[in-house]
Amino acid sequence: MRIGISVILLFYLFYYLVDYKNLIKILGEVKIVYIFLSTLFMILSILAAAYRWKYVISIKKRNISFKASLREYFIGSFFNNFLPGSIGGDVSRIVGAAKEIGSKEIALSSVFIERVIGLISMLTIGLIGFMFLDISSEHGYFSVSIILLATMFIALLALISKPANAVLCDIIETYAPVKISEAVIVYVKDFADYSDSFVKLFNVFIISFAFKIFDGFFIYFVLMSLDIDLTYAHAVALFCIINVIKMIPISFNGLGLSAISWVFVLKGFGINENIAASIDFLTISISLLVSGYGGFLYFFGTGKKKRPSETV
Protein backbone atom coordinates (compact mmCIF):
# COMPACT_ATOMS: atom_id res chain seq x y z
CA MET A 1 0.00 0.00 0.00
CA ARG A 2 2.68 2.50 1.03
CA ILE A 3 4.89 1.54 -1.90
CA GLY A 4 1.95 2.17 -4.23
CA ILE A 5 1.36 5.62 -2.72
CA SER A 6 5.06 6.44 -3.06
CA VAL A 7 4.88 5.48 -6.75
CA ILE A 8 1.86 7.77 -7.21
CA LEU A 9 3.64 10.63 -5.41
CA LEU A 10 6.75 10.20 -7.53
CA PHE A 11 4.62 10.20 -10.69
CA TYR A 12 2.96 13.43 -9.54
CA LEU A 13 6.37 14.92 -8.70
CA PHE A 14 8.00 14.19 -12.07
CA TYR A 15 4.92 14.65 -14.25
CA TYR A 16 3.44 17.83 -12.73
CA LEU A 17 6.01 19.56 -10.54
CA VAL A 18 9.54 19.12 -11.88
CA ASP A 19 11.37 18.70 -15.16
CA TYR A 20 13.70 15.71 -14.75
CA LYS A 21 16.12 17.08 -17.38
CA ASN A 22 16.55 20.31 -15.43
CA LEU A 23 16.77 18.29 -12.23
CA ILE A 24 19.66 16.24 -13.62
CA LYS A 25 21.36 19.41 -14.84
CA ILE A 26 21.08 21.01 -11.39
CA LEU A 27 22.47 17.91 -9.68
CA GLY A 28 25.38 17.88 -12.11
CA GLU A 29 26.33 21.42 -11.04
CA VAL A 30 26.31 20.97 -7.25
CA LYS A 31 29.33 22.18 -5.33
CA ILE A 32 31.08 19.03 -4.18
CA VAL A 33 32.90 20.65 -1.26
CA TYR A 34 29.56 21.41 0.41
CA ILE A 35 28.35 17.86 -0.20
CA PHE A 36 31.48 16.62 1.57
CA LEU A 37 30.80 18.92 4.52
CA SER A 38 27.16 17.83 4.62
CA THR A 39 28.23 14.18 4.72
CA LEU A 40 30.63 14.93 7.56
CA PHE A 41 27.90 16.53 9.65
CA MET A 42 25.53 13.64 9.02
CA ILE A 43 28.17 11.33 10.47
CA LEU A 44 28.49 13.67 13.46
CA SER A 45 24.71 13.53 13.85
CA ILE A 46 24.83 9.72 14.10
CA LEU A 47 27.65 9.98 16.64
CA ALA A 48 25.50 12.35 18.71
CA ALA A 49 22.44 10.08 18.48
CA ALA A 50 24.52 7.08 19.58
CA TYR A 51 25.72 9.04 22.62
CA ARG A 52 22.11 10.03 23.44
CA TRP A 53 21.01 6.39 23.31
CA LYS A 54 23.93 5.32 25.51
CA TYR A 55 22.85 7.96 28.05
CA VAL A 56 19.25 6.67 28.04
CA ILE A 57 20.46 3.12 28.71
CA SER A 58 22.58 4.39 31.61
CA ILE A 59 19.41 5.73 33.28
CA LYS A 60 18.42 2.08 33.86
CA LYS A 61 21.80 1.36 35.51
CA ARG A 62 23.03 -0.62 32.52
CA ASN A 63 26.06 0.15 30.41
CA ILE A 64 26.69 -0.12 26.71
CA SER A 65 30.00 1.06 25.32
CA PHE A 66 29.92 4.01 22.96
CA LYS A 67 31.54 1.81 20.31
CA ALA A 68 28.73 -0.75 20.57
CA SER A 69 26.05 1.96 20.66
CA LEU A 70 27.53 3.58 17.56
CA ARG A 71 27.79 0.24 15.74
CA GLU A 72 24.15 -0.60 16.42
CA TYR A 73 23.07 2.89 15.38
CA PHE A 74 24.86 2.63 12.04
CA ILE A 75 23.35 -0.81 11.41
CA GLY A 76 19.91 0.51 12.35
CA SER A 77 20.36 3.42 9.92
CA PHE A 78 21.17 0.91 7.20
CA PHE A 79 17.97 -1.06 7.79
CA ASN A 80 15.92 2.14 7.91
CA ASN A 81 16.59 2.60 4.20
CA PHE A 82 14.91 -0.63 3.19
CA LEU A 83 12.20 -1.35 5.76
CA PRO A 84 9.00 0.67 6.38
CA GLY A 85 9.37 3.72 8.61
CA SER A 86 12.13 3.35 11.17
CA ILE A 87 10.82 0.06 12.59
CA GLY A 88 13.49 -2.08 10.96
CA GLY A 89 16.31 0.05 12.31
CA ASP A 90 14.77 0.14 15.79
CA VAL A 91 14.30 -3.65 15.88
CA SER A 92 17.91 -4.04 14.83
CA ARG A 93 19.07 -1.78 17.66
CA ILE A 94 16.88 -3.59 20.19
CA VAL A 95 18.32 -6.96 19.20
CA GLY A 96 21.90 -5.66 19.28
CA ALA A 97 21.51 -3.79 22.58
CA ALA A 98 19.80 -6.77 24.26
CA LYS A 99 22.91 -8.84 23.61
CA GLU A 100 25.19 -6.08 24.88
CA ILE A 101 23.34 -5.25 28.13
CA GLY A 102 21.62 -8.59 28.79
CA SER A 103 18.06 -7.26 28.93
CA LYS A 104 15.46 -7.29 26.15
CA GLU A 105 13.13 -5.13 28.25
CA ILE A 106 15.65 -2.33 28.79
CA ALA A 107 16.82 -2.55 25.18
CA LEU A 108 13.25 -2.02 23.93
CA SER A 109 12.35 0.74 26.39
CA SER A 110 15.63 2.62 25.80
CA VAL A 111 15.14 2.62 22.03
CA PHE A 112 11.53 3.81 22.42
CA ILE A 113 12.43 6.55 24.93
CA GLU A 114 15.39 7.75 22.88
CA ARG A 115 13.32 7.76 19.70
CA VAL A 116 10.29 9.56 21.15
CA ILE A 117 12.26 12.26 22.98
CA GLY A 118 14.30 12.83 19.81
CA LEU A 119 11.07 13.28 17.86
CA ILE A 120 9.68 15.65 20.50
CA SER A 121 12.77 17.86 20.21
CA MET A 122 12.50 17.78 16.41
CA LEU A 123 8.81 18.71 16.50
CA THR A 124 9.55 21.54 18.94
CA ILE A 125 12.19 23.01 16.62
CA GLY A 126 9.84 22.65 13.64
CA LEU A 127 7.10 24.55 15.47
CA ILE A 128 9.54 27.30 16.43
CA GLY A 129 10.43 27.57 12.74
CA PHE A 130 6.77 27.96 11.77
CA MET A 131 6.26 30.68 14.36
CA PHE A 132 9.39 32.79 13.96
CA LEU A 133 10.94 32.15 10.52
CA ASP A 134 8.03 32.91 8.17
CA ILE A 135 7.86 29.30 6.97
CA SER A 136 4.58 28.65 5.20
CA SER A 137 2.09 26.32 6.93
CA GLU A 138 -0.74 26.72 4.42
CA HIS A 139 -0.80 22.97 3.70
CA GLY A 140 -1.57 22.08 7.32
CA TYR A 141 2.00 21.28 8.34
CA PHE A 142 1.71 23.34 11.54
CA SER A 143 -1.47 21.53 12.61
CA VAL A 144 0.06 18.13 11.87
CA SER A 145 3.11 19.06 13.95
CA ILE A 146 0.93 20.06 16.91
CA ILE A 147 -1.04 16.79 16.70
CA LEU A 148 2.13 14.68 16.47
CA LEU A 149 3.76 16.54 19.37
CA ALA A 150 0.70 16.02 21.58
CA THR A 151 0.56 12.34 20.58
CA MET A 152 4.22 11.82 21.45
CA PHE A 153 3.81 13.46 24.88
CA ILE A 154 0.72 11.41 25.69
CA ALA A 155 2.36 8.15 24.60
CA LEU A 156 5.49 8.92 26.63
CA LEU A 157 3.58 9.89 29.78
CA ALA A 158 1.24 6.89 29.46
CA LEU A 159 4.23 4.58 29.61
CA ILE A 160 6.53 6.21 32.17
CA SER A 161 3.90 7.48 34.63
CA LYS A 162 3.43 4.72 37.20
CA PRO A 163 -0.36 5.22 37.63
CA ALA A 164 -0.93 5.39 33.86
CA ASN A 165 1.40 2.46 33.30
CA ALA A 166 -0.55 0.39 35.84
CA VAL A 167 -3.84 1.20 34.10
CA LEU A 168 -2.34 0.26 30.75
CA CYS A 169 -1.12 -3.06 32.14
CA ASP A 170 -4.59 -3.75 33.60
CA ILE A 171 -6.19 -3.10 30.20
CA ILE A 172 -3.73 -5.43 28.46
CA GLU A 173 -4.23 -8.11 31.10
CA THR A 174 -8.02 -7.83 30.86
CA TYR A 175 -8.51 -7.79 27.10
CA ALA A 176 -5.47 -9.49 25.56
CA PRO A 177 -5.05 -13.29 25.36
CA VAL A 178 -3.15 -14.69 28.36
CA LYS A 179 0.04 -15.61 26.51
CA ILE A 180 0.20 -12.23 24.76
CA SER A 181 -0.54 -10.23 27.91
CA GLU A 182 2.11 -12.11 29.91
CA ALA A 183 4.72 -11.40 27.24
CA VAL A 184 3.77 -7.74 26.68
CA ILE A 185 3.25 -6.64 30.28
CA VAL A 186 6.87 -7.45 31.18
CA TYR A 187 8.02 -4.92 28.60
CA VAL A 188 5.38 -2.29 29.45
CA LYS A 189 6.18 -2.40 33.18
CA ASP A 190 9.85 -1.71 32.43
CA PHE A 191 8.93 1.82 31.27
CA ALA A 192 7.54 2.75 34.70
CA ASP A 193 11.05 2.85 36.19
CA TYR A 194 11.81 5.95 34.11
CA SER A 195 9.30 7.92 36.24
CA ASP A 196 12.01 8.26 38.89
CA SER A 197 14.35 9.93 36.40
CA PHE A 198 12.43 12.91 35.00
CA VAL A 199 15.48 15.18 35.32
CA LYS A 200 17.60 12.76 33.32
CA LEU A 201 14.85 12.42 30.70
CA PHE A 202 14.78 16.21 30.45
CA ASN A 203 18.55 16.07 29.95
CA VAL A 204 17.92 13.69 27.03
CA PHE A 205 15.59 16.32 25.55
CA ILE A 206 18.24 19.04 25.98
CA ILE A 207 20.88 16.77 24.42
CA SER A 208 18.56 16.08 21.48
CA PHE A 209 17.80 19.77 21.08
CA ALA A 210 21.47 20.71 21.16
CA PHE A 211 22.57 17.95 18.78
CA LYS A 212 20.16 19.23 16.13
CA ILE A 213 23.05 21.63 15.46
CA PHE A 214 24.66 18.83 13.45
CA ASP A 215 21.43 18.12 11.54
CA GLY A 216 21.19 21.81 10.80
CA PHE A 217 24.64 21.93 9.25
CA PHE A 218 23.90 18.73 7.34
CA ILE A 219 20.98 20.35 5.52
CA TYR A 220 22.56 23.85 5.46
CA PHE A 221 25.50 22.62 3.40
CA VAL A 222 23.12 20.78 1.05
CA LEU A 223 21.38 24.13 0.52
CA MET A 224 24.76 25.81 -0.01
CA SER A 225 25.72 23.21 -2.62
CA LEU A 226 22.70 24.33 -4.64
CA ASP A 227 23.32 28.08 -4.07
CA ILE A 228 20.13 28.39 -2.01
CA ASP A 229 20.39 31.53 0.08
CA LEU A 230 18.73 30.62 3.38
CA THR A 231 20.03 31.07 6.91
CA TYR A 232 21.31 28.32 9.17
CA ALA A 233 18.24 28.82 11.40
CA HIS A 234 16.02 28.14 8.40
CA ALA A 235 18.04 25.01 7.61
CA VAL A 236 17.51 23.57 11.11
CA ALA A 237 13.79 24.34 11.10
CA LEU A 238 13.26 23.04 7.55
CA PHE A 239 15.09 19.81 8.33
CA CYS A 240 12.81 19.19 11.31
CA ILE A 241 9.64 20.16 9.42
CA ILE A 242 10.34 17.86 6.46
CA ASN A 243 11.18 14.99 8.81
CA VAL A 244 7.92 15.60 10.65
CA ILE A 245 6.05 15.35 7.35
CA LYS A 246 7.89 12.12 6.51
CA MET A 247 6.48 10.66 9.73
CA ILE A 248 2.97 10.73 8.25
CA PRO A 249 2.42 6.99 7.56
CA ILE A 250 1.17 7.15 3.99
CA SER A 251 4.30 6.44 1.95
CA PHE A 252 7.31 4.11 2.01
CA ASN A 253 9.90 5.88 4.19
CA GLY A 254 8.60 9.25 2.98
CA LEU A 255 9.65 8.45 -0.61
CA GLY A 256 8.02 11.02 -2.88
CA LEU A 257 6.32 12.73 0.06
CA SER A 258 9.48 14.45 1.27
CA ALA A 259 10.42 15.72 -2.22
CA ILE A 260 6.94 17.16 -2.78
CA SER A 261 7.07 18.73 0.68
CA TRP A 262 10.39 20.42 -0.12
CA VAL A 263 8.79 21.83 -3.29
CA PHE A 264 5.76 23.27 -1.50
CA VAL A 265 7.55 24.51 1.61
CA LEU A 266 10.29 26.29 -0.36
CA LYS A 267 7.80 27.79 -2.78
CA GLY A 268 7.16 30.39 -0.08
CA PHE A 269 10.80 31.45 -0.42
CA GLY A 270 10.58 31.76 -4.21
CA ILE A 271 12.79 28.72 -4.82
CA ASN A 272 12.38 26.85 -8.11
CA GLU A 273 10.64 23.44 -7.95
CA ASN A 274 13.57 21.64 -9.60
CA ILE A 275 16.05 23.05 -7.11
CA ALA A 276 13.77 22.22 -4.19
CA ALA A 277 13.37 18.61 -5.35
CA SER A 278 17.15 18.37 -5.73
CA ILE A 279 17.50 18.87 -1.97
CA ASP A 280 15.59 15.67 -1.33
CA PHE A 281 17.64 13.72 -3.86
CA LEU A 282 20.90 14.91 -2.28
CA THR A 283 19.83 14.22 1.30
CA ILE A 284 18.67 10.70 0.39
CA SER A 285 21.91 10.03 -1.50
CA ILE A 286 24.06 11.20 1.43
CA SER A 287 21.95 9.14 3.84
CA LEU A 288 22.42 6.02 1.71
CA LEU A 289 26.15 6.65 1.51
CA VAL A 290 26.63 7.13 5.26
CA SER A 291 24.29 4.35 6.36
CA GLY A 292 26.01 2.05 3.89
CA TYR A 293 28.73 1.75 6.52
CA GLY A 294 26.11 0.13 8.74
CA GLY A 295 25.53 -2.42 6.00
CA PHE A 296 29.26 -3.12 5.93
CA LEU A 297 29.27 -3.64 9.70
CA TYR A 298 26.27 -5.95 9.49
CA PHE A 299 27.61 -8.16 6.72
CA PHE A 300 31.32 -8.11 7.54
CA GLY A 301 32.00 -6.57 10.93
CA THR A 302 29.65 -7.99 13.54
CA GLY A 303 29.49 -11.72 12.95
CA LYS A 304 26.20 -13.52 12.49
CA LYS A 305 23.94 -11.51 14.74
CA LYS A 306 20.20 -11.70 14.36
CA ARG A 307 18.61 -8.66 12.83
CA PRO A 308 15.10 -7.71 11.64
CA SER A 309 15.07 -10.16 8.74
CA GLU A 310 15.71 -13.00 11.18
CA THR A 311 13.47 -11.89 14.05
CA VAL A 312 10.36 -10.32 12.55
pLDDT tens for the chain, 312 residues long, are 778 888 888 888 888 888 888 989 999 999 999 999 999 999 999 999 999 999 999 999 999 999 999 999 999 999 888 776 567 788 999 999 999 999 999 999 999 999 899 989 988 888 887 777 766 655 566 777 788 889 989 999 999 999 999 999 999 999 888 889 988 999 999 999 898 888 999 999 999 988 888 999 999 999 999 999 988 988 888 888 888 788 777 777 778 889 998 998 888 888 999 999 999 999 999 999 999 999 999 998 754 445 444 443
The residue extents of the domains of the chain are 2-307
pLDDT recorded at residue 304? 47
Asked if 135 and 235 touch (Cβ cutoff 8 Å), the reply is no
pLDDT recorded at residue 140? 65
Rounded to the nearest 10°, the torsion over CA 220, 151, 143, 84 is 60
pLDDT recorded at residue 284? 92
Closest CA to 207 of 67, 68, 61, 52: 52
Closest CA to 65 of 74, 75, 55: 55
- 217, with CB counted inside 10 A (0-12, 13-18, 19+), is buried
